[in-house]
Amino acid sequence: MNSTLKAPLGFDAPIYVTRPVLPPLSDYAESLEKIWQSGFITNGAAQHQALELALCNYLHAPHLSLFNNGTLALLVACQALQVKGEVVTTPFTFAATTHVLAWNNVTPVFADIDPDTLCIDPNGIEDNLTPQTSAVLGVHVYGMPCDVHAIQSLAQAHALKVIYDGAHAFGTETHGKPIVQYGDATMLSFHATKLFHSAEGGALCVANADLKKQVDLLKNFGIKNEEEVLLPGINGKMNELQAALGLLVLQHVDLEKQKRQALRNIYEARMNQVPGVRILKAPSHASESQQYLIAIIDEAQAGCSRDDLQVRLKPFNIVTRKYFYPLCSSFDCYKHLPSAQPSRLPNAHRIASQVLSLPLYGNLTADDVHRICDTMVYCLQTA
């Protein structure tokens, strides 16, 4: 312990992991005025149609369907693709990823993760395939692309569907293609914590027009018209208030990404020089999603555990998140599964004890990030 170091100045107010991009309130009020004049506030009206088209063009998605949240979008993807039996997925993700399988009466089978990308390891997928496997549900963790080519090869060899949870991957590209062009379906989340948001919301990007028709039916109770209901659906529609906000936020996304990249550069330059700290970075064939800034803390080298570092940062008003911890495979509702045993998921368990999500959003300044880095170094060196 080095107790002679001078403590850096803390922040007067909490600095959180992220803050939502908010357009000028007057712009949103103007959009609301149009909605009020139209008299339509849901059921695929003008704002919904405009946002669906704008996002399809922005993301270069083959087909896109808007939802009131990402979880329902993923739930409907499983229904539309008729997944059943078992689905191989990752334990290193948000709870919703695994829950949608349970809600579809599908057994999640957990495969270990790649220690570099933190995404599901294709070798782990192959090791967990059985005659009951119907699909792979991969997660582009923090916007880091899965090994899409290896997963697609496995899927073709074993006649599996491929669904991606792309909640963090808005606008990400890999191998020269938009990430939403891989797999049978990709879910995007538009929750307020995301780079692009509509307060709450989500979308499902699918590979063909027939699948989009099926998705659109399923998210609207299975209703074809006033007199025909074709299948048991659910209410997953995005309303006009969400869509209007999304249209405005979309105008600010590119500038927000530029701001976050500049801040990321500071984090990388500063913290990658600190023993035991690695800032997660997208590989050369992929773009940064700018969704989260992740530090991986190796206690043996850093001299301080991730958990201790998080606690030591709080008095300085630096709020971080152990994102994702605990693993989904550790939840009471899944830990009984054979694939959930810790001995089968060594990389996931190690990484879950090391990851720390740091503040990253456009309203931070370069000085703010330097202060955060100074404080992290101080906390590590005085541990």
6 confidence band (pLDDT: 50, 70, 90): confident
Residues 231 and 308 in one domain: no
pLDDT of residue 238: 98
Number of folded domains in the chain? 2
Residues 155 and 119 in one domain: yes
Residues 109 and 199 in one domain: yes
Where b means 16+ CB within 10 Å and e means fewer, 295-322 reads bbbbbeebebbbebbbebbeebebbbbe
Task: Report residue 150 CA to chain centroid gap.
Answer: 21
Specify the CATH number for the domain of residue 281: 3.90.1150.10
pTM: 0.97
Distance CA 40, CA 250 (A): 22
Residues 136 and 68 in one domain: yes
Residues 267 and 222 in one domain: no
Residues 130 and 238 in one domain: yes
pLDDT of residue 3: 53
Residues 220 and 259 in one domain: no
Distance CA 324, CA 333 (A): 17
- Of 195, 224, 250, the one marking the end of a domain is 250
> What does pLDDT average to over the chain?
97
Beta strand pairing status for 202-206 and 63-67? antiparallel
Q: What is the pLDDT of residues 14-61, one digit of tens each?
A: 999 999 999 999 999 999 999 999 999 999 999 999 999 999 999 999
Residues 189 and 283 in one domain: no
pLDDT of residue 13: 97
366: CB partners within 8 A, 6+ apart = 262, 263, 266
Question: Which residue range(s) make up the domain with 264?
Answer: 253-381
Residues 30 and 173 in one domain: yes
Query: What's the Cα-to-Cα distance from 91 to each of 233, 235, 292, rounded to whole Å?
Result: 28, 28, 19
Residues 262 and 212 in one domain: no
Q: What is the pLDDT of residues 259-293, one digit of tens each?
A: 999 999 999 999 999 999 999 999 999 999 999 99
pLDDT of residue 111: 98
Specify the CATH number for the domain of residue 47: 3.40.640.10
- Of 226, 250, 274, the one marking the end of a domain is 250
Residues 258 and 212 in one domain: no
